[in-house]
Chain A
């Protein structure tokens, strides 16, 4: 590496460092603003995952973009090329050193191991101490809505009603094609596969309010309309709702 190359490299690293610091600062400010409300025992970890992964991704993305952008500007062909375009020659080939290759493998390998470990830690946290008696909700996806069956209560509904602070275990399936069951704000995201029941770790709603369940798997004509309301209510209100629905199934709207 000659003196001029070292100058380019120093400049690139300086730009990268500045952009990384600015990007990480922006991520710390912006990501929490655009994250869903934390409405369950799971969603907080999901939002934290978004923040941490974004913070890690910013310097990596900046590293690539700065090198590409700087190269386009600094090493572009200036002026009209002499002769025919076919006669232009490429620059000298780059040969990475052994240290660079080891560093590249070490950094990317460490990142991959960190991401896997993070996911396993999150899954471990959700499954290490499962509640003994969760409320089981059977969720069926069908073009183009979700329906909810509460086997312990003997009721079915088009609206997903959940009691506050009670663990819920979702069992999800599909009657036709692949769907994706997601509740924004509660950290629920599960595949709905035809003929198969999928069960995820239990989720405990921790905040009263209205949420929505949607399909995130493109499933047909009315995919964008495939949603249902989700209401997290007090335990007494939930009991009253279930009792009323049991007495009058036609009110399942």
Chain B
């Protein structure tokens, strides 16, 4: 199976509506592939807050804008993993032969509401009566994971800060990134606490944006003479919804499960991966991800950025796009956005943030505190 086209909006602030932005990005992905739009048989939309914003059922709106009103559509809501999960479902659909070409479109807009309202929207992805209902916010839930991690492994807030510094640096070379601002460890450390031990610069911004990926059967790609990027592994997993139901707070079981599936399917191991786009909504999330994906041993993730392993020039570049932390995190668009970055990297079009010799790329997208997880492996053709 191949990704034959991909596109994203500039993440940050969206002027129009989600349906307009998503439709334009979807068309850009189809046009990037250079195929007749009529080949699209199915459209899966990743979106988390459409209903809260009084416009649900985005699939038919996007399909109709594209002149594809006969396409089968569905919206996937899996919190921050909405479009990563949609991509995995699209993979299943094409693999089963139910669709020869499925378009995955992720979109989100939150910048028109104030920070307190957006913070509240995000809490709807938690176990509301038991977590948000006792005051949890998303920074708070990840901060709770961070205290458990720092306590168990003796890691430091400075080590977390290095994740933010790296990803901000990478985003400087990404014209579509939300934040174009170099920061220092000292700036991170001096920024105010949002939820101790996480500070302002440990947290991703509230972003708007859209991203689209066109997935097609190999026969379709060949008939159009398109190499694209090969999808060699597609996995999905889950974790207990509540932090209180987890046996361990220093790992995300769903990440391990999704990664295991994807690697087994691809016949690859973590050491084969040339670069990864991982879910770094907060700095601690990248630390947990590089461990749970098998790149480093448990307890070693905090040092990965500080020691340069995950830098663009390191042995395993992580989040060359800038990640959720600096490229931005338009919740429903994030998973598809990661696949867009991998597509560009494997096509050698990532400009100053190009990972040299990139052959195998990984994406890792998780919903809420990891209740839902999707991991994909792509190979340059």
A binds B: no
- Measured CB to CB, the residues of B under 8 A from A are none
